[in-house]
Amino acid sequence: MPSSGVLAAEDSLGHDVLVDWCLALLTGAAGGADRKTPSLRWIGGPAAGTDCDRHHWARSDLNYWPRVWAARALRYAWDDRAAGPVIAGLDDDAWRVREHCCAVVGLRELADAADRLAELTDPDQEDAPRVRTAAVKALAQVGEFEHGDALQRAMIDPDRKVRDAADAALERLAERIDRPLR
C-alpha cells in the first residue's frame, strides 16, 4: 500500500524533508537517479527497485516514474506549499503524472486548478482516458457552476469510464454547490 511507505518515510525523514523531496522530484529539481536523495522505495514501493537500480530512473522512457510516485506521495503527506507544483503537474508530459496530480487536486480541494481540470476532461485536449476520468472526479470536488458544461460534455466521452465518472461528478458538483446542473 503506497500510504505505508510514505508514512514510514515521514516518520524516518520528517515531514518537511519528505515534502521537499517530493516537490523536488515532481518539479524536476531532483531526479530519480540522484543518489543524494532518499531511497525511492519509500514512495515507489517494490517497483522502485533497490538503490543500486537508481540508474534506471534516468532513462528517458522511465524518468517520469519518480514524478508519479512523488505526486502520489503528496496524497498522504501534504503541505500547502505543494499546491502550486501539483497544479503545474497537470501539464506534465507524462499522463500518469497528470492523473495523480488530478487526484491530489481533488483530494486537497485546490480550486485554483478547476479551469485546467475542465480542459483535461476534453478528449481533444487530453488523450489519456485515465487522466480525463481523474480530472472529472477532481472537478466534482473543486469546480463551480460554470464547470458543469465540461462535465456535461464528458457525458459523451468515447470512454465508458469517463462517462460513468462524469455522471457521478455532475451529481456531486450539483449537490456541493446546491444548484441543479442537468
Domains held by the chain: number:
2
Whether 102 and 176 map to the same domain: the answer is yes
Local confidence pLDDT in tens for the 182 residues of the chain: 778 999 999 999 999 999 999 999 999 999 988 888 899 999 999 998 887 778 888 888 999 999 999 999 999 999 999 999 999 999 999 999 999 999 999 999 999 999 999 999 999 999 999 999 999 999 999 999 999 999 999 999 999 999 999 999 999 999 999 999 87
Question: Is the Cβ–Cβ distance between 7 and 74 less than 8 Å?
Answer: no
CATH number at residue 155: 1.25.10.10
Domain extent, residue 12, equals 1-77
Whether 24 and 94 map to the same domain: the answer is no
Whether 95 and 178 map to the same domain: the answer is yes
Rounded to two decimals, what is the model's pTM? 0.95
